[in-house]
Structure 1
Amino acid sequence: MLDLYDDLAHSRIDRRTFTRKAAAFVAAGVGTEALLNALAPNYALAQQVKPDDPRIKTEYVTYKSPQGGGEIRGLLAQPSKGAGAGVEAKLPAVLVIHENRGLNPYIEDVARRLAVAGFVALAPDALTPLGGYPGNDDEGRAMQRKRDGEEMTQDFIAAARWLDKYPRSTGKVGVVGFCFGGGMANTLAVRIPDVIDAAVPYYGRQPDAEDVSKIESPIQIHNAGLDERILAGAAAYEAALEKAGVPFESYVYEGANHGFHNDTTPRYDAEDAKLAWERTIAFFNKHLKTA
């Protein structure tokens, strides 16, 4: 059933096909719509760090993306405490890239978690040119499919460059992404090696093997053991990284589903998500906070 929901979440099937196929799994008296509602994200759960947490400050900002969507909106989160005497301490920065549905509450919470960990975090919304994240994932997925792929890539390239020059940034920039965002994290490592200093793709599409040699930053890869679609390209990616001499770490979480880090869906695996996030923060601390 989770595999079937994954197909729906990634637009490989439509809602009608999901309903038809799900009927084989549904117990008597339980409708497929009720089942779909149970599988859908519950964003009331996406509050590991509350927006008004005194340890951080958050605001929505816009930045220019002339080769992409023109002007993109995103959530900027950073530690609230400065260096004293009215001067804020410079900090490393991390770009947070959402899944295939826009800047939802889960991804905003990830940005706040990074701020608590001592980073300036920017989470852009690729749906900005279409009016922004609509408040639910079904509409968000449909909207994101309408955007041109290269233009969205340019939006995230512009975001990374904005973070690189942000006044409180040290110029050390990492990127973390999930699903679509994981693939985009790999893409940015290829496309802007002059900006990206560390990349952490979660169950993301791998870049073409011939492009891997362009990567200059260390990579930390997180994949789910049950995610056959992404795992199909994992070995070739790791072999290309090794051949190119790119430092990398790779983790596969056995028994976990694609999307296991997202704590708002039934695919969430609390133990694996906690371990993966601890590894992510340690990786960014190592590669972004050192000289």
Structure 2
Amino acid sequence: MCDLDTLEENNEFLRKSGQISRRQFNTLTAGATLAMMLPAVANAQDVVESDVMIETPDGVADCYFVHPASGKHPAVIMWPDILGLRPAFREMGKRLAQSGYSVLVVHPFYRSAPSPVVPEGASFGDPEIRNLVLPMAQALNAETHVTDARTFVAWVDQQAAVDTNRKIGTMGYCMGGPIVMRTAAALPERIGAGGSFHGGGLVTDSRDSPHLGIPTMDAHMLIAVADNDDERDPETKHALRAAFEAANVPAEVEVYEGAMHGWCVIDSTVYHEEQAERAWGRMLAIFESAL
């Protein structure tokens, strides 16, 4: 999960591997679009993009909705990492829509501020950025996760571009991982597949730990674990596998070798294209069979 230990591990990885520095990365993103960092989608569909305002029990959430230009398609709800809804996640949502899904990319911090809450190229490694987003993240909890999930599922089910005869997928990154788990547990009648990518806090000692909801899920799950997250907490993968197996919930729980926390997000300093594409491909395969 995103914390100072993870930051130090990621920085050490960058130093040893000789990968680009944060300053070099910022220069890259300023001079080239994030879309250029993603491989092209085979047989990409034309899509329609819109910024949407969704009323929730706690306010109005500004989100991004993108879907193929024609027809009805299974919906997917995407939960960003701790830096919130920003250009990187818009590009990732658009890419998924080009593969035939109606995608709602959530702004998780709508209670605190409209998106984006950080400037382009921002890093959780910067103290000012951490001090900005951590209180927003800490204001969320198991209850807000579920109320948001119910609201956003109800919203996508009302959209003309969504095929409500098919189940919904959901995917989350870093702090979005627990939200995926709770969404699948709270709405088993609608959620058919879910993916957590370097998600933190999936197994805890609290009475509302995300993994305790596994018995109520009716979804095919993908849990993609960062190598350094697993090194620090090697028991989580075993606990998840045991819980999924006991509940007879189909799941892939895998540690992605050489992939550091944050490796799936295209504006991350530790973005690992090969392993990110492998995780993305597994999610697409699960969506195709489960939705």
TM-score, normalised via structure 2 length: 0.77
Aligned to 1:226: 228
- Secondary structure at 2:163's aligned position in 1? strand
Q: Are residues 1:183 and 2:174 paired?
A: no
Matches within 5 A, 1:83-102: 89-102=71-84
TM-superposed deviation, 1:79: 1.1
CA contact (8 A) 1:261 1:273 kept: yes
CA shift digits 1:4-37 (9 cap, x unpaired):
xx8xxx2447x9xx7xxx89x99xxxxxxx9664
Change over 3 Å in CA distance of 1:285–1:127 after alignment to 2: same
92-101 or 185-194: bigger deviation: 185-194
Change over 3 Å in CA distance of 1:192–1:105 after alignment to 2: same
TM-superposed deviation, 1:105: 1.4
CA contact (8 A) 1:175 1:200 kept: yes
AA matched with 1:222: A
Matches within 5 A, 1:1-291: 10-12=2-4, 37=23, 43=29, 44=32, 46-47=34-35, 48=38, 55-66=46-57, 69-80=58-69, 82=70, 89-132=71-114, 133-136=116-119, 137=122, 138=129, 141-142=133-134, 144-145=136-137, 147-149=139-141, 150-171=143-164, 172-204=167-199, 205-206=201-202, 208=209, 209-228=211-230, 229=232, 231-288=234-291
- Secondary structure at 1:240's aligned position in 2? helix
For structure 2, the residue ranges without an aligned partner over 5 or more in a row are 123-128, 204-208
AA matched with 1:165: Q
165-174 or 96-105: bigger deviation: 165-174
AA matched with 2:53: T
* Mapped partners of 2:193, 2:45: distance in 1: 28
CA shift digits 1:81-110 (9 cap, x unpaired):
x2xxxxxx2110100100012102111111
102-111 or 205-214: bigger deviation: 205-214
AA matched with 1:145: A
CA contact (8 A) 1:262 1:268 kept: yes
CA contact (8 A) 1:206 1:234 kept: no
AA matched with 2:118: G
CA shift digits 1:156-180 (9 cap, x unpaired):
3311221133222112210011111
* Mapped partners of 1:164, 1:234: distance in 2: 33
Structure with bigger gyration radius? 1
For structure 1, the residue ranges without an aligned partner over 5 or more in a row are 1-5, 27-33, 83-88
* Mapped partners of 1:57, 1:240: distance in 2: 39
Aligned to 2:206: none
TM-superposed deviation, 1:284: 0.6
What stretches of structure 1 move > 4 A for 4+ residues in a row? 34-45
* Mapped partners of 1:224, 1:41: distance in 2: 26
AA matched with 1:251: E
C-alpha RMSD of the superposition: 3.2
* Mapped partners of 1:218, 1:152: distance in 2: 20
- Secondary structure at 1:170's aligned position in 2? coil
AA matched with 1:46: L
Greater length-normalized contact order (CA 8 Å, ≥ 6 residues apart)? 2
TM-score, normalised via structure 1 length: 0.77
- Secondary structure at 2:154's aligned position in 1? helix
Change over 3 Å in CA distance of 1:232–1:144 after alignment to 2: farther
247-256 or 223-232: bigger deviation: 223-232
* Mapped partners of 2:64, 2:34: distance in 1: 15
- Secondary structure at 1:71's aligned position in 2? strand
TM-superposed deviation, 1:49: 8.6
* Mapped partners of 1:245, 1:96: distance in 2: 25
* Mapped partners of 1:267, 1:187: distance in 2: 27
CA contact (8 A) 1:164 1:173 kept: no
* Mapped partners of 1:104, 1:264: distance in 2: 10
